[in-house]
Chains A and B, each alone.
Chain A
Amino acid sequence: MRLSEADSQALAGAPPAPTYLEDGTTVMSWLNTRDHKRVGVMFLASVIFFFLIGGVFALLLRIKLLQPGPFFVDAISYNRMFTLHGVVMIFLFLIPAIPSAFGNFVLPLMIGARDVAFPRLNLGSFYLYVLGAAIAIWGMIHGGADTGWTFYTPYSSTTPTQVLPILLGAFILGFSSILTGLNFIVTVHTLRAPGLSWMRMPLFVWSTYATSIIQILATPVLGITLLIVSVERVAGFGLFDPARGGDPVLFQHMFWFYSHPAVYIMVLPAMGVISECVCAFSRKNPFGYKAIAYSSIGIAFVGFFTWGHHLFVAGQSTFDAGAFGILSMFVGVFTAIKVFNWVGTMYRGAISFRTPFAYICGFLYFIVFGGMTGVALATTSLDIHWHDTYFVVAHFHFIMVGASVMAFLAGLHYWFPKMFGRTYPEGWGLVAASLIILGFNATFIPQFLLGNFGMPRRYYQYPEHFQALNVASTAGATLLGFGFVIIFIYLVIALKYGSRSVPNPWGSKGFEWMTASPPPTHNFDEIPTITQMPHDYRTHEPPGVIRVA
């Protein structure tokens, strides 16, 4: 448990094993790596790159919406831009962001393993991501699709824009997601350190495990669906296009059978990050460990039976609407259980208000408000007015940006010393966090009101009485954009010039801090034996590598 005499000497005296960053510095040593940490870092760099691209599209859209009439770009370019914003943010950022970047980096460390179960497959998953992204980008440069990220038929089977490369790109990205999920499931089942029973697993591992189940079961359905749309476009099969004998609503059922669980692919790992950060910064054991762990599995399971709440006005039967409506309520209950337990974790803790904690506060508020507006949308009759308006846009941005991106940023700051052995500037971190949380509210609260007011989404031009709220939203988006730019700049500077971090700067008792920061290539000189729950703060440790006997 405690840093023993021998350990301190080993840390101070003997030359330490080279960290994973120093073990080979050529480009090829990165591209050919089978080290889960390097794969994680490559994923992290890629998802941040695509987040910036998606963000630029978002700002361009907001600039157009300053004016109700034609302005800045023409209608078809606008339609392409919101499609690309959606596709980039969902398939290239949100889905891989936390599982593939942080999951790859910390999951093996958390369970005391030297690597994931299939290191080559892990690298393969990264290259599939690169291939899928390259094809999608190629499609964007050569025209881009104008279907919206939802690809609703028969519009997507008949539009003359370049839908095929985007469909193919998303299809390949799906395989990257499936392989990562498969790898994590096998890793969690086979490579846990001695003593690490299921009921001692860190909560991030639980939520990533639940995510992996969804990735494996739901993503193939998306693959099939996108493939059928492609075949319909190329070969003229009529599966979805009614002009050729197909059924357009069938597409919506198949699409949302993936894409609703995909929301949980995006948000469950975020919940895992928050579970870790809340404990570390409250210096407290998770309140209701089992409740948080089981509710992750509950969300993964029930999430498969709620897709019909996207079709309340699409012509499905009233009975179906009722069934999907009540099932959607259960997902809300599981999320509520988590929220109460996170707040409970702070009770009698020792809370330190650092940058990740600022994002936790943002996250809690956004997930309660975003989650409850989600349940409100699933309240069948209310959805009639809100469906396909800015209310829906604001709701899912509260969950996707408000919850997932806040958790991504919390994790990025929490694990930054772990990944790179450097510290970020705390003052700038808090400034950026305040800007982002403020800017986020200023962007999306006006959009809730726009939805109430009746402004449909994906509108290039809009009636003039919607203008004031649109201008307010664009002003907020500018703040939000500044916040992200500040983070990007100080983290890049900190990578090279940040002061050296101690191995465990937060005094955290998460299991990933059992090894040095940054960790050596093989993670542990000796596989640790786990004798306690994660985040047990009943005893004090001097800052340093925690040793679990």
Chain B
Amino acid sequence: MNELLRRMLFLPDQASTFARDLDQLHYFVILTTFVMSTAVGLTAIFFFVRYRRRSETQTTPHIEPTWWMEVLFVGVPLVFFTFWFFLGFREFVRQQTPPSDAMDVYVQGKKWMWKFAYPDGPNAINVLRVPAGRNVRLLMTSRDVIHSFYVPEFRMKKDVLPGRYTQQWFNATTPGRYQILCAEYCGAGHSIMRGEVIVMKPQEYEDWLTSQRRGLIAQQDGSPTALDFAPALGNMVEQGRRIAAEQGCLKCHSTDGTRHIGPTWLDLYQRREKLTDGSTVVADEAYLTQSMMDPAMQVVDGFQPVMPSFQGKLAGPETAALVEFIKSLQSDAVRTGPSEGPAYAPIRGR
């Protein structure tokens, strides 16, 4: 029954402890709505058929409702709606009250990506890993405008506000991958501000966490990180490609010449760009770096100054790797063929 109604109403899978309870209420409310609107509709149709006009000179009696009708008219909806409210509010209070044993994850929204940080390590972009069957509390804030953290399968949503923290908790029941959608309009990239929750079996999660923290401790000791051994991971172009995906650059900049929210990176290096103030600039290393750190300073004509600053978010070698990646994107070096449309950040593992 649950499964049948869920599919009929196009509700997504139930992957958190809230989902099933909430869906029961959902079915009840929708079914009452259907019964009520059908009842009103049928009564109207019956009256129409029974009392259709028989002559153009027809007169009708003056009828007023009796007291018990008025009581019924007020009472029935009042009882139903109040009942809905109490069922709903009980569930709402439960959702708004995080249990004390919940593990915390810090969430930061910004145009147009999600960042996650676990108190003892590691950080992640766009991918939140949590163990199944454990209470998780998200402490959320935004760097710029209002976003909203929405996972349909968890029946969970909360606005992410700049300048303050909001909290939201959940307990994921089924291991799997679930999309995070931004539900509060936040500009050009609103619809591609998507992330992913990966619900892992508890043991797998512990293993992942341990391996991540090992890497983190090494970093705190001042030992060289993986990034410092660049050649071991591939050349700077490869690093740049990875960083561009992780930082969300590719949500706005295409690499195949397609016009998107920002200028394309294809053939960008050494291109003569016309700016909004009418002057021109050659897109050399200095200009590319400045555009990452202070994007609003010199905006290319025809584009909106919507790019956030990456000052403090990109380390020196990362900036260099990005510049190298852009330099590598020359059309004579790229395969020819039909455009595949703008690329947006692939979520790791897909």
Contact = CB atoms under 8 A, between A and B. Distances in A.
Interface string B70-84: 100110111001101
Interface in B48-107: 48, 51-54, 56-65, 69-70, 73-74, 76-78, 81-82, 84-85, 87-93, 95-97
A132 to B, nearest CB: 24
A529 B85 CA distance: 48
Contacts of B65: 287-288, 291, 341, 344
Given A347-B47, A350-B53, A461 B82 contact: no
B219 interface: no
Given A283-B60, A291-B73, A537-B60, A76 B53 contact: no
Contact of B37 (A159, A365, A450): A365
Interface stretch (A10-18, A35-43, A384-392): A384-392
A503 B99 CA distance: 71
Contacts of B90: 381
Nearest to A344: B65
Given A155-B145, A337-B73, A454-B181, A313 B82 contact: no
B82 A329 contact: yes
A354 to B, nearest CB: 10
A160 B59 contact: no
A155 B186 contact: yes
Contact of A284 (B60, B148, B260): B60
B247 interface: no
Contacts of B62: 285, 536, 538
A518 B191 CA distance: 52
Contacts of A462: 191
Contacts of A287: 63-65
A351 B157 contact: no
A313 B158 contact: yes
Contact of A461 (B33, B63, B158, B192): B192
Nearest to B55: A350
A290 to B, nearest CB: 9
B9 A322 contact: no
Contacts of A382: 22, 25-26, 29, 88
B303 to A, nearest CB: 9
A452 B9 contact: yes
Interface stretch (B162-170, B233-241, B282-290): B162-170
B272 to A, nearest CB: 24
B309 interface: no
A508 to B, nearest CB: 13
Contacts of B275: none
B43 interface: yes
A24 interface: no
Contacts of B182: 456
Interface string A309-333: 0001111001001100110010011
Given A154-B146, A388-B157, A348 B33 contact: no
Contact of A329 (B12, B85, B155, B194): B85
B265 interface: no
Contacts of B81: 329, 332-333, 375
A202 interface: no
Contacts of B159: 313-315
A159 B65 CA distance: 55
A540 B58 contact: yes
Interface in B13-65: 22, 25-26, 29-30, 32-33, 36-37, 40-41, 43-44, 47-48, 51-54, 56-65
Given A376-B30, A385-B152, A540-B57, A368 B36 contact: yes
Give the 4 A-B residue pairs with the shortest CB-CB distance, closest first. A454-B152, A242-B163, A379-B88, A381-B91
Given A333-B81, A375-B81, 20 more contacts: A79-B190, A146-B188, A154-B145, A314-B161, A315-B161, A326-B82, A329-B81, A343-B40, A346-B48, A347-B51, A350-B58, A351-B53, A368-B37, A379-B29, A385-B157, A449-B9, A450-B10, A453-B10, A456-B150, A459-B190
10 contacts: A325-B89, A349-B60, A351-B47, A376-B29, A384-B156, A385-B156, A389-B183, A453-B11, A453-B12, A539-B59
Interface of B: 9-12, 22, 25-26, 29-30, 32-33, 36-37, 40-41, 43-44, 47-48, 51-54, 56-65, 69-70, 73-74, 76-78, 81-82, 84-85, 87-93, 95-97, 144-146, 148, 150, 152-153, 155-159, 161-164, 166, 179, 181-192, 194, 259-261, 304-306, 341-342
Interface of A: 69-70, 74-76, 79, 146-148, 152, 154-155, 158-161, 242-243, 247-249, 282-285, 287-289, 291, 312-315, 318, 321-322, 325-326, 329, 332-333, 336-337, 339-341, 343-344, 346-353, 361, 364-365, 368-369, 372-373, 375-376, 378-382, 384-385, 387-389, 449-450, 452-454, 456-463, 469, 507, 536-540, 543
